Every structure is written in C-alpha cells, then in structure tokens.
A and B are shown apart, each in its own frame.
Chain A
Amino acid sequence: MSDNGAALVLEDVRKSFGKLEVLRGIDLSLAEHEVVCLIGASGSGKSTLLRCVNLLEPIDEGRIVVQGEEVTATGVNVNELRRGIGIVFQSFNLFPHMSVLDNITLAPRKALGQSKAEAQARADELLARFGLADKRDEYPDRLSGGQQQRVAIVRALAMQPGLMLLDEVTSALDPELVAEVLSVIRELATEGMTMLIATHEMGFARDVAHRVCFLDAGVILEEGTPEEIFGAPREPRTQQFLQRIVEAGRL
C-alpha cells in the first residue's frame, strides 16, 4: 500500500484492552477529500479505531500514517500531530467553565500561538457560518445538545485540521436535533474535508460517504460504495446487521 497522497493510512492496526482484542488487524486508507463512514454494532471497535488515529489510545501493533507522517513511529510529537486532526466526540466534551468563544479560541491561542484577536476573529467567522454567532458568550450548559455539538465541531475546525474524526456525534442527541448537526457535517463534506465518521445514522452514511466500511469484531469485514454496502451486501454478518437496522426503522 502506498502512502503517497493518502490523508490517512492504517496498516494491520491491532489494539487490546487486557485480554479483549478490540482491533484485530485494521487496514484502511483515506484519500484527500474522501469521506469514509464506519458502521457496525456497538463494541465492534469504531470508537477505539478513531481514538487510535490521534493517539488517544496507543496501538499494540501496526502503523498509522497521517498525511505522509508515520504517527506511530517513536519520537513523534503527539501535540503537534493532534493539532492537524480534529476529533468530535459523542458527548461533546465542551469545557463547562468557559464561554463558547473561549472553548473555541483556547487551543488556537495556546497550542498554535495565535493572538487573542486573531483567534477570536476566526472563531466569530466560524460561529457566524454555522448560525451560532449569538451564542458566543454563552456557557455550554445553557445550550441545547445540537448547539453544543455544533460548537464542538467549530472548536475542532478552529485548528484548521486536515482530517476530521467524528465519533458517533449524533448518538447523544434528541432526534429533532440530529438534523442540524448532520447538515453541518454535510457542508464540510461538500467543501472537501477529509473525514472518518463512525455513525449509526445509516441514511446519512449513504448520502454523505464516498465509501462505507462495516466493522465486525475488530476487523473491517466488508467495504465498498454506499450503493454496494446498503444495496447488495456480500457478507452474511453485514446483511444481518443491516436487516436489524431496517427492522428498527433506522434506514
């Protein structure tokens, strides 16, 4: 597999928590501007996979290469690496003691060394773009779940990352708030942001993904275009999983 031009390459990535093997040899490659959705049951390793990419979890074996740089090599500056990768979590994880504006400008100021004015100008621009301009001085607990998650996305974007990792970003939201968050992600996809998205929203995955990977028991069991995966899945496990999703009325 060639690393040239790929935004993200994973080669035979393995990860165990104690005796439990969560990732059992993951091979995956994302081209620049590509959107890949990871689907699969809870516990199939989707979240762990995302957390391994920006080294929130150290991997046991394999290689991870982000924009040509092997991040799993020894002596990599993890702080520098993470500045180029945005991650958004299921539970938002905004800083509750800071206003929305401070949440967004903290990392650009402290990690990138931007001036306060510079960071705020960029934050205001992003907030305005995502319809959050009037929330800049609010504290996170005052916002709805959908607003909080959009702020979390803006916070990640403020670092101008080359790659975004989204970890079931709508799973903690009330159903009526899901759409506003998904439309933000759609917009990012349209602009060409490279994204690796773990999601339970199959309809969304079908719309936005260039490629869909079905994770089962720590391996990518099947991958293909959304048409292939949702239209004519080959593996029995994939068929079974999608059948259950359809029965639950989620597709």
Chain B
Amino acid sequence: MSVVSTVVFFGAIALIVVNAAGWPDVKQAFFDGDLFRESFPDIARAFVLNVKIFVVAEIVILVFALLIAVLRGLPGPVFFPVRALATIYADLFRGIPTILVIYILGFGVTALQLPGVPISELFWGTVALILVYSAYVSEVYRAGIESVHPSQEAAARSLGLSRFQTLRHVVIPQAVRRVIPPLLNDFIGLQKDTALVALLGVVEAFRQSQIDVSATFNYTPYICTAILFIAITVPLARFTDWLVARDRRRQLAGGMR
C-alpha cells in the first residue's frame, strides 16, 4: 500500500515538473549529463576538504560544547563569573550570523599578523564554525543535563561519589543519550555550513562548483555539490536513528545484546 501511494505521489509531481513550460530550459541549465560527468571529479576532490573541516570541527565541538554546558551548570555563588562567561559566550555566538563570524575571524584575525598565530583562512573559517556551533550544541547538552532527574544525582551523591564523578558517570551519559537526535540535527547544519568557508576564498566543493559554473554558464555543477552533501548527511541521519533505537532496545526490551 505504501509503495503504491508513494509511486503515485512522486509520479504526479514528476509529471507536473516535466510538463512545465520552462522544463526544457531548466533541464539544460541544471541537468546536463555530460557536464555532470565532467565536473563531478573536480567537485568530489574539493568536497574532501568539506569532510575534513566538519570532521575536525565536530570532534572539537563535542568536547568544547560539553565543557561550556557543564560550566553553565556549576552551582553556588563562587562560580557566578564562570557561569556568566559561559552564558555570554552562548548568547553572543548564537546571536551573530555565522557568515559575519566567518568574515570577522577569517579576514580580521589573519590581518592582525600576530606572531605565532596562523594566517590560514581555512584555519580561521573552521574556528568560526566551531565557535558558532559549540554555542548551539552547548545549549543542546544543557537541556539534556537538566532533563536528568535530580533524584539520580541524589542517588549518586549519597553513595559517596563526588560531584564530578556523578556528572561523569551518571548525569552526562544519560544526558547525551537523550540529546543524540538534536545533536545530529546541529551537525547536519554544520556540514552544510562548511560551504560558507568558501567566502574566505578557500576552494571547497561549493567554491569549486562556482568556478565550474562561471566557466560553462551552466548550473549543473551545483546539482553535483548538492548530491555530494546529501550523500553524507542522509546516511548519518539513518545511523543516528539506528544508534538511538539500539540503545532503547537494550534498556527496555532485553538484557545484554
């Protein structure tokens, strides 16, 4: 039944698009098969850089954002300055458009020519993405940490575990499990935003496709780039679904698997 309805639905949409008045022009401008084969290898090579950027950024963000979230949750008046600083950080970098952070760091910091500070646009573009997305991800972590019931902390502390041990072994593992779906959501956003580093002149997949487009006056290379991004984000989404489902099965439906 679902197969039939799916075929009918998408078949209808395809018919409408193909029969549109402008379809022949669009087909030629966006779906040129020869050009696709020609530009794909170049763009795929450039896409490796996107992959490198987000792999490095995601690893750093996972750790850094958790640190920010933990600092924001420190109790007591002594830690007020730390909490304030972490809060200001999260507010600031969620407030400024990503594109501006990339410009400010990528062009501003490199222009300072400080001794010992890298002048690579790629480096600062990646740093900008890390700063922006860590602000978002720290909020996701914080929501997860706050969703763990206080009785869990009471149980851990009353067994004689320290505050840090409680956080490390009891609170954070439960918090992270709960926020895996929104965490992945932010990472998909990050993977797409690696294209913004192109604005600093770094030749990654999007920049490469722009070059190809301006050389041929045909938009097919953009379709190439879109397909490459989808090829990475969709499997990651399915992998996360599987991860979450496995965890749930283990806790609810049976013992060790």
Nearest neighbor of A94 in chain B, beta-carbon distance: B155
Q: Does B161 contact A (CB under 8 A)?
A: yes
Interface string of B132-164 (1 = CB under 8 A from A): 000000000000000000011011111111100
| A97-B251 contact in complex given A56-B154, A91-B151, C-beta closer than 8 Å | yes
Q: Find chain A residues with CB under 8 A from B151 CB.
A: 89, 91, 93
Which of A51, A93, A99 is within 8 Å of B256, CB to CB? A99
Contact at A79–B160, with CB atoms within 8 Å? yes
Q: Find chain A residues with CB under 8 A from B160 CB.
A: 79-83, 107, 111-112, 159
Which of B165, B174, B253 is within 8 Å of A111, CB to CB? B165
Q: Does B254 contact A (CB under 8 A)?
A: yes
Q: Does A155 contact B (CB under 8 A)?
A: yes
Q: Does A156 contact B (CB under 8 A)?
A: yes
A110 and B97 CA atoms in complex are apart in Å by 44
Contact at A87–B255, with CB atoms within 8 Å? no
Contact at B159–A156, with CB atoms within 8 Å? yes
Q: Does B250 contact A (CB under 8 A)?
A: yes
A97 and B174 CA atoms in complex are apart in Å by 6
A156 and B160 CA atoms in complex are apart in Å by 10
Q: Does A174 contact B (CB under 8 A)?
A: no
A6 and B155 CA atoms in complex are apart in Å by 26
CB < 8 Å A-B pair total? 76
Which of A83, A96, A99 is within 8 Å of B159, CB to CB? A83
Give the size category of A's interface with B: 20 to 34
Most buried by A among B159, B170, B253: B159
Contact at A96–B154, with CB atoms within 8 Å? no
Q: Find chain B residues with CB under 8 A from A142 CB.
A: 251-255
Interface string of A155-187 (1 = CB under 8 A from B): 110010000000000000000000000000000
Q: A residues bordering B, Cβ < 8 Å? A: 51, 54, 56, 79-83, 85, 87, 89, 91, 93-97, 99, 106-107, 110-112, 137-139, 141-142, 155-156, 159
Q: B residues bordering A, Cβ < 8 Å? A: 151-152, 154-162, 165, 169-170, 173-174, 177, 250-256
Having A95-B156, A95-B174, A159-B160, one finds 8 other A-B pairs with CB under 8 Å, namely A79-B160, A79-B162, A94-B155, A106-B161, A107-B156, A137-B255, A138-B255, A155-B159
Residue pairs across A and B with Cβ atoms less than 8 A apart, 10 shown, are A79-B161, A95-B155, A96-B174, A99-B255, A110-B161, A110-B169, A111-B159, A139-B251, A139-B252, A156-B159
